[in-house]
Amino acid sequence: MTIQAYRFALDLTPAQQRAVLAHTGAVRVAYNWALARVKAVMDQRAAERSYGIGEADLTPVLVWSLPALRKEWNTAKSEVAPWWSQCSKEAFNSGLDALVRGLKNWADCRSGKRAGRPVGFPRFKSRRRSTPSVRFTTGAIRVEPDRKHVVLPRLGRLKLHESARKLARRLDNGTARIMSATVRRDGCRWHVAFCVEIHRAERRPARPASAIGVDVGVTYLATLSTGEHVPNPRPLDAAQRRLCTLGRRLTRRLGPDRRTGRRPSNRWRAAQAQLGRAHARVANLRRDGMHKLTTRLTREHGTVVVEDLNVAGMLRNRRLARHIADAGFAEVRRQLAYKTKWYGGHLVVADRWYPSSKTCSGCGAVKAKLPLSERIYTCTRCGLTLDRDLNAARNLAALAHEATDARSGRESLNGRGADRKTPLVRQVAAKRQPGIAFAGQTGTIPPQGGTTDHVLVRAH
């Protein structure tokens, strides 16, 4: 069983758009109300501690769980939102659930249970800045027999922009079960995403024994170890001129002003919608190219090897940040991670400090330095000359054999390790002995008590 999402565009009438916006507003109201309650209790307890009050006499703690917050909301909803009966209960539950998850992430980050980038304390949702979204988990959620309409609680029958036949077939066959439905506005179009538990048949790649290395980059979206260069569409660069034109047009219109209470003009709304459609098109083009590439690789090859790139650190380069973000390095790896499971393959992630670009794919010699401007790799030992990205992709493909040997329990014949510092080329003037790894060679660490003859190593 696999959890998978099916996303469809909606064609809503003006009345249906107002109903959906009302539900997304209910999500925001419940979220902000619960967050205000949590902050008030936290501030009150902090103030009482500063007065010297004991822990037993402090204001009772507000439990950060969905049932507890839902109970508090049901008690106060008649005063906070007198119109609560006009919206589905799932709308308020969505806002409370989002706050619970945000508080949990913040608490886990402070206690060290959560890995990754720091997570801040939840902030209030703004009507203009937040993305309208509402999630339904109970009630009437189904696809109509004509496969052109869906039914959601309180919203009724909504028309789809495209056919839902792929999802409908699985539902009719009994191999899928809808768990939830989320309505969200991306740009200027509404979408509905069904979270579905499906039973996927076991599949195998077309070439199970094949291993391929994938080196992502800016010049090319991906360079494969087979020698193929996948072109980078660069949708943001292609649309940059139009985006600048639409942005300048938007600034000339009368937009909203909180200080004076001015409402935006119709021309400002039209310009904002046009700019949103342009940004949505860029995102769709980028997503389409990545899905086509990752699906082709996982369907054909049994093992795919990628690098563990520090994308957040790479984005600090102000000269390349926009191009790196446009390429979507992290998204390629994310899609490969779940698609290899779908199609019966295996994903190998190279260590972040593995010198794939500095290592010669022919003899294994490692260069001390390799500037980014040097696009052609030339080995000073064996004289190999080839494209820098192709050399890195071949080195990544070589790691697939190490991963295969590790899973089978056999000793790896060409496993290559990596550390935080790349050593200089090691000059070895000795007879190669079994069990000893030399510079440019791959193998195991010398056994305990093993000796080497006349091994000269230049360290940093």
E-assigned strand segments in 362-406:
376-378, 385-387
User: What pLDDT is attached to residue 412?
Assistant: 36
Domain match, 168 and 29 both: yes
Active-site residue identified among 90, 307, 326, 402: 307
Quick one: 227 and 117 in the same domain?
no
Q: Which residue reads 């890995």 in tokens?
A: 115
For residue 277, tell me if it sits in a domain: no
For residues 223 and 123, membership in a common domain is answered with no
First to last CA, the chain: 51
Range of the domain at 378: 207-234+283-408
In contact, 28 and 130? CB cutoff 8 Å: yes
215 is catalytic: yes
Is position 92 within any domain? yes
Domain stop point among 172, 198, 224: 198
**Catalytic: which of 90, 97, 326, 389?**
389
Kindly state whether residue 417 falls inside one of the protein's structural domains. no
**Tokens 């904002």 map to which residue?**
272
307 assigned to active site: yes
Q: Is 108 a catalytic residue?
A: no
- Regarding whether 112 and 12 lie in a shared domain, the answer is yes
| Under-70 pLDDT residues of the chain | 402-460
What is residue 257's three-state secondary structure? strand
DSSP string, 136-166: E-SS--EE-TTSSEEEETTTEEEEESS--HH
Question: Is 6 inside any structural domain?
Answer: yes
Q: For the whole model, what pTM was predicted?
A: 0.78
* CB 215, CB 392: distance < 8 Å: yes
Q: Which of 173, 198, 223 is the last residue of a domain?
A: 198
* Domain co-membership, 290 together with 320: yes
The tokens for 342 are 């779908």
Residue 209: its H or E element = strand 207-216
Q: Which two tokens stand for residue 98?
A: 């989002």
Task: Give the whole-angstrom CA distance, residue 67 versus residue 257.
Answer: 38
Q: Within a domain: residue 313?
A: yes
For residue 120, the model assigns a pLDDT of: 93
Pairing state of beta strands 376-378 and 385-387? antiparallel
Is the CB of residue 358 less than 8 Å from the CB of residue 379? no
Q: How far is CA 171 from CA 165, 311, 426, in A?
A: 10, 39, 61
Q: Are residues 137 and 192 in the same domain?
A: yes
Q: Which helix (H) or strand (E) holds 191?
A: strand 189-198
In a domain, 150, yes or no: yes
- Is residue 288 located within the same domain as residue 144? no
Residues 177, 46: one domain?
A: yes
- Asked if the structure places residue 419 within a domain, the reply is no
Query: In the chain, how many domains are there?
Result: 2
pLDDT of residue 266: 93
Neighbours of 333 (CB within 10 A): 20
154 lies in the same domain as 213: no
In three-state secondary structure terms, 194 is strand
On whether residue 447 sits in a domain, the answer given is no
Residue 327: CATH number of its domain: 3.30.420
Could you say which of 198, 220, 249 is where a domain stops? Answer: 198
- State the catalytic residue, choosing from 215, 374, 411, 453: 215
Q: Where are the alpha helices (DSSP H) in 51-127?
A: 66-80, 89-111
Distance CA 394, CA 443 (A): 18
Same domain, 167 and 190: yes
In sequence order, which residues have a C-beta less than 8 Å from that of residue 278 and are 6 or more positions away?
239, 242, 243, 246
134 shares its domain with 213:
no
Whether 223 and 156 share a structural domain: no
pLDDT of residue 298: 93
Nearest to 229 by CA among 360, 340, 389: 389
